[in-house]
Amino acid sequence: MTETKEEKIFDKKISRRQMLKMTGLGAAGVAIGATGFGGVIKTFGMDFFDDDSTSTNKVDFYGEHQSGIATDVQTNIYFASLNVLVTSKQELQELFKMWTPLAVRLMNGEMIGDPTTNGMIPPKDTGEARGLDATNLSITFGVGPSLFEKEEFGLASKKPNELKDLPHFPKDQLDTAYTGGDICIQACADDPQVAFHAVRNLVRAASGKVSLKWSQAGFNAFPVSKGKKQTPRNLFAFKDGTENPTTSSKKDMNEVVWVQSGESKGWMTGGSYLVARRIQLHLETWDRTSLKEQENTFGRHRDSGAPIGKKDEFEAMDIDRKDDKGNYIVPETSHVFLAKSVDARILRRSYSYSSGVMDATGSYDAGLLFVSFQKNPDQFIKIQNSLGRLDKMNEYITHRGSALFACFPGIQKGSYIGEALFKTL
């Protein structure tokens, strides 16, 4: 996040016709600021900034789908659940309009405000990411079921039937401090400070319009073998996300992740549903468990990630395999066996977390910020219900937080976050 990028944005000289050609915008609804080009196009009453293809380690903001879903998983996340404080549909719409150019600039690796030398006022940008590049920052926005229940917004008819609080699952011990929310912002980056900076500045820019309900930072580490990133491990040391759908496969993603036309409310076409679960891992208990029992709990070998009885991580799980005595090779109470016993798939995008200690006993407050994307929350619900009380993993984990959000489809140039939601009912 260097000043040279700021200067490039604000000092570049280019004609109005050239700029419109670059951004793909037509003349309708577009106006250049009064000071000439000035780096900004006014559209829909808001500033328009484009993706900067010259930025280092850059993820595009605009596209068919939001970033942070099919994007290659980064090493860090800062996830925030927000309560909305505005009291009208117009104010809510203006909030998303205001966030749009800020998100673009953050993902470009830029400061969110013009450079200023006036030391008598607070800077527009908090500044802790200055000097860092974009570090593959992605920002994903979603809305929770509670937003549609606020009568002042008049959005009840836009609420998808599937957007409702997740049911209570066996062994849930949810803390309301980590449950629900009107809006979520998921910021992922290859630097923890960049991810935190993005959420901090978006929330700060919306001061008085939103408040933080809960948040969680998380981290991942990716071993590299032969120049290729490997599956990350959770704090139980097992690989997490081995059987994800192939994000580069349009067919796979359309079947599992992206909402298709007619499958939900129209404004969700091209979007996805985000499940967030804050899961405490009881590390002290796990660390006293034998390796064989740990592997029987997961249904995989710890070091290789392969299904029990196989050698390669990506070999088919094939839960029906039995030994010569007729016993299942992968234990029937293992996490993977139960998850695979239902016909449902999800895209896992989870991160480990460590937040100090739980209580005076000194037990770790550490675990998994489970994040999954699916075209319908029922995909996750089927899997979680299958795990039920039989899952041997329940001896070592406790679900403390839970939320469901509808993530908008991608934002097109000249539009704004969630535009379709605010179109005439």
Q: Distance (Å, rounded) from C-alpha 273 to C-alpha 290?
A: 37
Q: How many domains does the chain have?
A: 1
Q: Is 372 helix (H, G, I), strand (E, B) or coil?
A: strand
Which band of pLDDT confidence, cut at 50, 70 and 90, is reported for residue 20? very low
Three-state DSSP state, 197: helix
- Give the confidence band of 42 by pLDDT, cuts at 50, 70, 90: low
Average pLDDT (220-231) is 92
The answer as to whether 186 is a domain residue is: yes
User: Is 230 among the domain residues?
Assistant: yes
Domain membership of residue 68 (yes or no) is yes
pLDDT digits (tens, 9 = 90+) for 255-307: 999 999 999 999 999 999 999 999 999 999 999 999 999 999 999 999 999 99
φ, ψ of residue 197 to 5 degrees: the values are -60, -40
The predicted-structure confidence for 135-155, as pLDDT tens digits, reads as follows 999 999 999 999 999 999 999
* 68 within 8 A of 139, measured Cβ to Cβ: yes
Q: Is residue 29 part of a domain?
A: no
Residue 194 is inside which H or E element, if any? helix 192-205
d(C-alpha 280, C-alpha 400), whole Å? 7
Sign of CA dihedral 7, 133, 141, 268: positive
Cα→Cα distances 289→297, 298, 328, 339, 394, Å? 10, 13, 22, 22, 14
- Residue span of the structural domain in which 171 resides: 57-113+124-421
Kindly tell me if the per-residue pLDDT of 16 is higher than 80.
no
Residue 21 has pLDDT above 80, yes or no: no
pLDDT, one tens digit per residue, over 350-409 is 999 999 887 777 789 999 999 999 999 999 999 999 999 999 999 999 999 999 999 999
Q: Is residue 141 part of a domain?
A: yes
Give Cβ neighbours of residue 262 (< 8 Å, ≥ 6 apart). Answer: none
* pTM for the full predicted model: 0.89
Residue 417 lies in a domain: yes
DSSP 262-299: TSS-GGGTT-EEEEEEEEEE-HHHHTTS-HHHHHHHHT
For residue 17, being part of any structural domain is answered with no
Helices (H) and strands (E) in the chain, counts: 10, 14
Asked whether 182 and 85 are in contact (CB, 8 A), the reply is: no
Distance CA 252, CA 245 (A): 6
Q: Is residue 227 part of a domain?
A: yes
What does the pLDDT read at residue 28? Answer: 39
